[in-house]
């Protein structure tokens, strides 16, 4: 039977009983895990391993890629013509939309007191093809065919033409792993475009939904709201579209609202994504946080600290609007931080722009019609406009 093993070339750890060898390897694995998780000593090793694994990943992806290629090359003339017409129409649309961009950018620069319009926050783009997709409920990752040789770095923002997709986690020489915004381990700091309220969108483990678990039950949010990146967290710049709110549940016994949003990016159908380099000195660039980069190793921007502070901080100026007490945290948590984000404050109706305290007496007004949550939309239409223009400008 197999009792006469192949004696030649016995591998490492061959001597001793199975128990001994198991202990040896288990200790090795534990040490590796410790070094990888706690100390980050294994980045170099990971880089090498990712390089070695890339051919296998390419091989694994080759049947689907070949199939897609065959299908594309046998596409009928009519379909190609239809697609061409569609693309032409789309391009005309975009040209029309960006016609006023120059004027708007200039105007925005003037409003900010700058002499010239700001350059776009995105400095450089690089298209990357998706080599491998993992879309299980536990891991939502992509492997793309651009790596360190293309200048890709860790925690780089990845977009498609609709919105945010994720960020790079492990960068190999020719490939990089992207954690999607829908991964349960990923959290992206967002802002509700209509109200300016900031929160965190956490992946829900399927390609079509995000969860917003940190919103109080009385938060001003409704389905259809657009979520854009808030610029906090040090990875994504401000104002890029992320998702649209699809459902809001308010349970009387729950202190937090249960909110779901659908990502705008076509995460499960994309075949190409864009890697983006941003100007670090741009006002809409990701806010550099001293400690966040240390936390990015697992692909999770350390966002919890930022989710919590606004409320306690606001408790002090809150009292003016005493009656709708639970409501006060909401609008104010949105407002006082805005000057830091550099945008909507200057364009707000009150010209006393840099003073965060002056707009605050104004905000309790939206708080009074608070019981009926959809209504705050009416006192607030002033905010969306600056936001919208700002977000367009930011791109």
Partner 1 sequence: MNPPGRGRILFTALVALLLTVLPLPPWLDVLRPEFLVLAVLYWSVNAPRTGDIALGFFAGLALDVFQGPVLGQHALALALVTYIGVREHQRIRSKPAFQQALFVFGALAVYEFVLFAIDGWSGHPVTSPLRWVHAVTGALLWPPVAAILGHGSRGRA
- Site of interaction with partner 1 (CB under 8 A): 1-6, 9, 11-14, 18-19, 21-22, 25-26, 28-33, 35-37, 42, 45-46, 49-50, 52-53, 56-57, 59-61, 64, 132-139, 141, 184-185, 205-207, 298
* For partner 1, the closer CB: 18 or 371: 18
Sign of the alpha-carbon dihedral angle for 67, 72, 77, 78: positive
Instruction: State the chain's maximal CA–CA distance in angstroms.
Output: 88
Residues near 352 by Cβ (< 8 Å), separated by ≥ 6?
358, 359
Shortest Å, Cβ 165 to partner 1:
17
Residue 57 Cα to chain centre, angstroms: 25
Please state, in angstroms and rounded to a whole number, the distance separating the CA atoms of residues 224 and 95: 26
Shortest Å, Cβ 124 to partner 1:
29
* For partner 1, the closer CB: 58 or 274: 58
* For partner 1, the closer CB: 12 or 116: 12
Q: Which is nearest to 185 in space by CA: 134, 227, 141, 235?
A: 141
Q: Which is nearest to 154 in space by CA: 166, 138, 140?
A: 166
Residues near 390 by Cβ (< 8 Å), separated by ≥ 6?
108, 239, 284, 343, 344, 347
Residues near 201 by Cβ (< 8 Å), separated by ≥ 6?
181, 187, 188, 189, 190, 210, 211, 212, 227, 242, 243, 261
Please state, in angstroms and rounded to a whole number, the distance separating the CA atoms of residues 189 and 199: 6
Shortest Å, Cβ 208 to partner 1:
10
Shortest Å, Cβ 188 to partner 1:
16
**Do 257 and 324 contact (CB within 8 A), yes or no?**
no
Count Cβ neighbours within 10 Å for each residue of 178-206 and write b for 16 or more, e otherwise: bbbbbbbbbbbbbbbbbbbbbbbbbbbbe
Please state, in angstroms and rounded to a whole number, the distance separating the CA atoms of residues 363 and 329: 11
Tokens of 161: 């033409």
* For partner 1, the closer CB: 22 or 125: 22
Shortest Å, Cβ 337 to partner 1:
27
Shortest Å, Cβ 174 to partner 1:
14
* For partner 1, the closer CB: 65 or 388: 65
**Do 314 and 175 contact (CB within 8 A), yes or no?**
no
Residue 113 Cα to chain centre, angstroms: 30
* For partner 1, the closer CB: 51 or 339: 51
Residue 325 Cα to chain centre, angstroms: 32
Query: In terms of DSSP H, where are the helices of 254-297?
Result: 292-295
* For partner 1, the closer CB: 46 or 112: 46
Please state, in angstroms and rounded to a whole number, the distance separating the CA atoms of residues 141 and 176: 10
Shortest Å, Cβ 135 to partner 1:
5
* For partner 1, the closer CB: 20 or 125: 20
Shortest Å, Cβ 243 to partner 1:
19
* For partner 1, the closer CB: 53 or 377: 53
Burial (0-12, 13-18, 19+ Cβ within 10 Å), 39: exposed
Shortest Å, Cβ 63 to partner 1:
8
Shortest Å, Cβ 8 to partner 1:
8
* For partner 1, the closer CB: 180 or 353: 180
* For partner 1, the closer CB: 3 or 316: 3
Shortest Å, Cβ 296 to partner 1:
13
Please state, in angstroms and rounded to a whole number, the distance separating the CA atoms of residues 248 and 46: 41
């Amino acid at each position: 039977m197999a009792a006469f093993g192949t004696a030649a070339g016995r591998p490492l750890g061959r001597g001793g009983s199975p128990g001994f060898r198991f202990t040896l390897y288990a200790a090795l694995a534990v040490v590796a895990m410790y070094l990888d998780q706690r100390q980050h000593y294994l980045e170099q090793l990971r880089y090498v391993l990712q390089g070695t694994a890339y051919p296998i990943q390419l091989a694994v992806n080759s049947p689907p890629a070949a199939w897609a290629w065959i299908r594309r090359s046998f596409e009928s003339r009519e379909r190609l013509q239809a697609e061409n017409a569609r693309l032409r129409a789309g391009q005309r649309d975009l040209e029309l939309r960006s016609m006023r961009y120059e004027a708007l950018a200039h105007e925005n620069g003037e409003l900010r007191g700058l002499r010239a319009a700001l350059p776009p926050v995105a400095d450089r783009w690089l298209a990357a093809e998706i080599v491998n997709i993992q879309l299980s409920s536990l891991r939502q990752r992509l492997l793309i065919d651009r790596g360190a040789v293309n200048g890709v770095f860790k925690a780089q923002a990845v977009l498609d033409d609709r919105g945010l997709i994720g960020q790079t986690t492990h960068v190999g020489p020719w490939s990089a792993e992207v954690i999607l915004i829908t991964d349960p381990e990923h959290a992206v700091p967002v802002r509700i475009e209509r109200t300016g309220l900031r929160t965190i969108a956490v992946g829900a483990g399927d390609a079509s939904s995000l969860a917003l678990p940190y919103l109080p039950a009385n938060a001003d949010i409704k389905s259809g709201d657009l979520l854009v990146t808030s610029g906090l967290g040090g990875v994504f710049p401000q104002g890029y579209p992320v998702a649209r709110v699809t459902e809001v549940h308010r349970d009387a016994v729950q202190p937090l609202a249960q909110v779901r949003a659908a990502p705008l990016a076509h995460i499960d159908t994309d075949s190409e994504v864009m890697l983006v380099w941003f100007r670090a000195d741009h006002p809409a660039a990701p806010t550099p946080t001293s400690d966040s980069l240390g936390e990015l190793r697992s692909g999770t921007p350390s966002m919890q600290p930022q989710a919590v502070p606004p409320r306690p901080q606001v408790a002090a100026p809150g009292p003016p609007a005493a009656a709708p007490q639970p409501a006060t945290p909401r609008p104010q948590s949105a407002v006082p931080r805005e000057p830091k984000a550099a945008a909507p404050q200057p364009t707000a109706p009150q010209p006393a722009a840099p003073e965060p305290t002056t707009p605050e007496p104004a905000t309790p007004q939206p708080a009074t019609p608070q019981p009926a949550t959809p209504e705050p939309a009416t006192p607030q239409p002033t905010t969306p406009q600056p936001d919208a223009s700002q977000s367009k400008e930011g791109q």
